[in-house]
Amino acid sequence: MELFIYVFAALFSVINPLGTVPIFVGLTQEDSSAERSKTSLLTAINIFVILTISFFTGRYLLQFFGISIESLRIAGGLIIVTSGFALLTGSFSKHKGMDKQRVKDDAYQREGVSLTPLAIPMLAGPGSISMLIGMYDEYNIVSEKIITVLAILAVCLATFLVLKSAHYIVRMLGASGINAISRIIGFIVIAIGVEYISSSVITLINTVFN
């Protein structure tokens, strides 16, 4: 249970579906309630598929390119830290390369927005992907991998509920409320990124001197 809670909390903080709520509302404001629910569900499914594939195949990609797991964790930690700072400063959408008007105009050229820009790059971004690749190498027992996949599924379910309730959340919290929560999550995300970087640096140092 401790592992499940840890993976869920870390992954949910990095994905930060609350930060995507304004974008989701802007993209679906002309859709019916049923269409919004469908978009939310498809987005959650896409995220689960992307993150699960990354979790199980990421290490083989690293081996192919000759990248060590510690290097990946440091790079992923840097990405996570910058995402946290973007949340603290209120520039999360710009950090993800998402301009609201450009996204909205581009959305009209697509049949749906569940895969992109919502699943990629807004939610299943490089921070969450690199985190899961590192976790695959860290948790070697089959039961731990199963728990991690269940935690991914739980995060996707929570993301579905957040997006499904996005319009209600905006009306209830307003822009200021969402920004306040995002800043709190941003602080947690920064701490997660720093922990990844520091632990990887310590491991590298121990490897060199031992």
- Highest mean pLDDT, choosing among 82-91, 112-121, 145-154, 180-189: 145-154
Prediction pTM value = 0.78
Q: How many domains does the chain have?
A: 1
Counts of helices then strands in the chain (DSSP H, E): 9, 0
When pLDDT is cut at 50, 70 and 90, the band that residue 30 belongs to is confident
Of the candidates 122, 125, 156, 136, the one whose C-alpha atom is nearest the C-alpha of residue 61 is: 136
The answer, yes or no, to whether the previous bond of 117 is cis (omega within 30 of 0) is: yes
Range of the domain at 149: 2-209
Residue 108: per-residue pLDDT? 46
What would the pLDDT profile of 95-115 be if each residue is shown by its tens digit? Answer: 555 555 555 555 444 446 788
